[in-house]
């Protein structure tokens, strides 16, 4: 009998590890897709932009985003751990996935299409959806919500940078290739 209990615990631990890896991979994949659009433009287009004085060096963005995507993955794991059966959890999951899509869309619009205006609209949407996600997730998983707060702060700062770059570089208001 004790053997079956141990086997059951191993099975549950294996399920949790698998779920954790899946959650991390989903979020890191979003980061990878964003980096695919971002990386080639940093030494060329991005370096040529006028930027506000508070802009961190380009070398800061990679490590910060990596940490934030790991935090997102942990949050997603905690969301998935709830079973996503309640209405609160379902809405939290939808908002989480939506903000992830907006995150990738921002990278594409800002870096690939060089659209400081449309990327600013997307980052404002991202900011609002992320705030709604944090509030919604708080209803059923406080840790999953709280771990997203640094990401929210970074998006707030990124929105400021996007706005300043938009104002300082009016030639990239629309879409250019």
- Specify the pLDDT at position 8: 61
Please enumerate in sequence order all residues whose Cβ is within 8 A of that of 143, keeping only pairs 6 or more positions apart, or say none. Answer: 78
Predicted confidence (pLDDT) per residue in 8-56, tens digit: 666 667 789 999 999 999 999 999 999 999 999 999 999 999 999 999 9
Confidence of residue 165 (pLDDT cuts 50, 70, 90): very high
> For residue 154, what are the CA distances in angstroms to 53, 151, 157?
16, 5, 5
* Cβ-proximal residues to 18 (8 Å cutoff; 6+ apart), any chain: none
pLDDT 10s digits, 77-128: 999 999 888 999 999 999 999 999 999 999 999 999 999 999 999 999 999 9
Among 135, 31, 14, 128, CA closest to 73: 31
Strand residues in 36-137 grouped as ranges (E): none
Question: Tell me, what's the pLDDT at 15?
Answer: 83
- pLDDT at position 175 is 64
Confidence of residue 172 (pLDDT cuts 50, 70, 90): confident
Task: Name every residue whose Cβ is closer than 8 Å to that of residue 80 and which is 6 or more positions away in sequence.
Answer: 19, 22, 23, 93
Q: Two tokens at 106?
A: 């921002």
**What are the tens digits of pLDDT across the range 50-77?**
999 999 998 999 999 999 999 999 999 9
Say what the pTM is. Answer: 0.90
Average pLDDT over residues 146-168: 97
Q: Is 20 exposed, middle or buried (0-12, 13-18, 19+ CB in 10 A)?
A: middle
Q: What domains sit in the chain, N to C, each tagged with a CATH number?
A: 11-37+63-172 (1.20.1260)
Positions of E strands within the chain: none
CA 93 centroid distance within chain: 13
């Amino acid at each position: 009998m004790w053997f079956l209990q141990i086997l059951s615990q191993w099975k549950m631990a294996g399920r949790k590890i698998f779920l954790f890896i899946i959650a991390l991979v989903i979020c890191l994949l979003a980061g990878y897709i964003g980096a695919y659009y971002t990386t080639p433009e940093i030494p060329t287009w991005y370096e040529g932009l006028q930027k506000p004085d508070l802009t961190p060096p380009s070398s800061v963005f990679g490590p910060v985003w990596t940490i934030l995507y790991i935090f997102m993955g942990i949050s997603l794991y905690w969301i998935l751990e709830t079973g996503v059966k309640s209405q609160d959890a379902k809405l939290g999951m939808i908002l989480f996935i939506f903000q992830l899509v907006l995150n990738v869309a921002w990278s594409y619009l800002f870096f690939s299409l060089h659209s400081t205006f449309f990327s600013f609209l997307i980052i404002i949407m991202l900011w609002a959806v992320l705030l709604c996600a944090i509030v919604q997730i708080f209803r059923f998983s406080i840790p999953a919500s709280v771990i997203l707060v640094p990401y929210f702060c970074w998006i707030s700062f990124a929105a400021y940078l996007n706005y300043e770059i938009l104002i300082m570089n009016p030639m990239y208001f629309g879409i250019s290739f």
